[in-house]
Amino acid sequence: MVRQLLLRGMLAGVLAGLLAFGFAKIFGEPQVDHAIAFEDQMDKAKAQGTAGTMSMSGGMSMSNAGAPEPELVSRAVQAGLGLFTGVVVYGAAFGGLLPWSSPMPTDGSERSPRVRPQPCSQALPSSPWSSCPI
């Protein structure tokens, strides 16, 4: 019974992770791309604005603003495989934890608790949203 609850919870978490990935890919990634483009424009403007000025270190700038950083993981991998892996694994982990939060008899008896498990398990994922003032 415990194994079945765990597997069902993890499967529900994976499905929720797939939905979250689709939402993040459609609505979140364009905003991240806009933010990265804006940051690049600000860096270019800062480099052009400070190119003619001298610094206190004998004309040498102490910052690495002009030097490009090595890219360890490409943006395409971050937005695709990285986002997918992170969201689905997170969903599976929390989906596996969800059955443990529902009221179940712990002594091995077949007594049903006062609160039915199904409504409680359906209400728990939405509880953070219901506690936030709008």
Q: Say what percent of the chain tops pLDDT 90.
A: 38
pLDDT per position as a tens digit, 57-95:
554 455 555 567 788 999 899 999 999 999 999 999 988
> Residue 133 pLDDT > 50, yes or no?
no
Long-range contacts of 129-133 (CB under 8 A, 24+ apart): none
Residue 14 has pLDDT above 60, yes or no: yes
Query: What pLDDT does residue 117 have?
Result: 60
Q: In Å, how far from its chain's centre is CA 111? A: 39
What is the phi/psi pair of residue 57, to 5°? -95, 40
| Residue 114 pLDDT grade (very low, low, confident, very high; cuts 50, 70, 90) | low
Which residue type does 48 have?
Q
DSSP secondary structure string, 56-87? TTTT---S-SSSPPP-SS-HHHIIIIIHHHHH
